[in-house]
Amino acid sequence: MTYPTALGASSLKTITLLGQDLAEDVMGTVGFGELAFWLATQRRPTPGETRVFEAVLAALADHGFTPTAIVTRLTYLSAPDSVQGALAAGLLGGGSRFLGVTEDCGRFLHDVLSGVDGGLPTDDEGWDELALAAVRAQREQGRFVPGLGHHVHKEGDPRTPRLFAIAAEEGLRGPHLALFAAIGRVHPRVLGKTLPLNGAGTCGAALADLGLPVELLRGFALLARAAGLLGQIAEERRRPIGMDAYLAIDRNAVYVDPSEE
């Protein structure tokens, strides 16, 4: 039995990573975002792709006291001997609800595009038509359109226009972003109200336009969040809130008789 891999390999004098000499050709030369992209695709990104990719990672790294951040802080409070446990616990909250929009949106756009017979639209009118059909189909199946709406940024998520702009600057505004923009234009006609395109969804569209596998988009959100959670642990060390947060919950517990339900 043998196990093939194109990732890391070591011999007496060299370490190879992705077919490169790690020490000579990667260290000091390849940035961390660039490397993460390369590891996931086994293809070195262009500087433009790296810039879009890192903009997405920045957009997703931290949003204050989200459930994942609180979980990491409370786990670090309980088990300060295990930084890996605190980090892992926080990442485990990266599931379908809070960190899942990026992947859900990327997949949704990907599925719509994959279902197009013939060529993709070439003008806004064509994109709007495709978007309209897609939004209608979701609605008919009683499903949400991923990437629409935000509980705080009700008048527009500031990450959205910025990410569209960066992708355009780098010539990387592809069909996923085009379709997502069209959804932004047409959805009020179907839903009867105007919702902002949220940042997490835009990130999913941008990552899909970079050619990253849609089944792994959640993974990139997790990588971004890993950096954010490390920041949370560092801040918990210097300005702790974990104990207060725990006690605020524990001291407001109200005992309910199990039989009263």
Smallest separation, CB 104 to its own copies (Å): 11
Give the nearer residue to its own copies in terms of CB position, either 103 or 128. 103
Query: For residue 36, which of 220, 252, 238, 235 has the smallest C-alpha distance?
Result: 220
Among 85, 121, 126, 174, binds its own copies (CB under 8 A): 85
Query: Binding to its own copies by residue 104, rule CB under 8 A?
Result: no
Among 54, 104, 128, 209, binds its own copies (CB under 8 A): 54
Query: Binding to its own copies by residue 16, rule CB under 8 A?
Result: yes
Among 114, 118, 192, 255, binds its own copies (CB under 8 A): 255
- List all residues 6 or more positions away from 180 whose beta carbon is below 8 Å from its beta carbon: 105, 109, 147, 197, 201, 202, 205
Smallest separation, CB 204 to its own copies (Å): 14
Q: Which residue matches tokens 């997790």?
A: 222
Please state, as a whole number, how many other Cβ atoms lie within 10 Å of the Cβ of residue 73.
Answer: 25
Among 81, 117, 123, 140, binds its own copies (CB under 8 A): 81
* CA 29 to chain CA centroid, nearest Å: 26
From 2-10, 125-133, 139-147, 186-194, span contacting its own copies (CB under 8 A) = 2-10
CA dihedral 28, 30, 35, 38 (to 10 degrees): -140
> Which residues in the 61-80 window bind its own copies by CB under 8 A?
61-71, 74-75, 77-80
Among 10, 115, 188, 189, binds its own copies (CB under 8 A): 10
Query: Binding to its own copies by residue 231, rule CB under 8 A?
Result: yes
Taking each helix axis from N to C terminus, what angle separates 217-238 and 67-78, rounded to the nearest 10 degrees? 50
Burial 174-183 (b: 16+ CB within 10 A, else e): bbbbbbbbbb
Give the nearer residue to its own copies in terms of CB position, either 120 or 165. 165
DSSP string, 114-181: HT--SSPP-SHHHHHHHHHHHHHHHHHTT---TTB--SS-TT--THHHHHHHHHHHTT---HHHHHHH
Q: Are 172 and 48 in contact (CB under 8 A)?
A: yes
> Which residues in the 107-166 window bind its own copies by CB under 8 A?
152-156, 158-159, 161-163, 165-166
Query: Binding to its own copies by residue 168, rule CB under 8 A?
Result: no
Q: Are 87 and 76 in contact (CB under 8 A)?
A: no
Q: List beta partners, residue 9.
A: 16
Query: Binding to its own copies by residue 98, rule CB under 8 A?
Result: yes
Among 96, 111, 120, 125, binds its own copies (CB under 8 A): 96
From 112-120, 141-149, 182-190, 243-251, span contacting its own copies (CB under 8 A) = 243-251
Give the nearer residue to its own copies in terms of CB position, either 183 or 233. 233
Give the nearer residue to its own copies in terms of CB position, either 114 or 252. 252
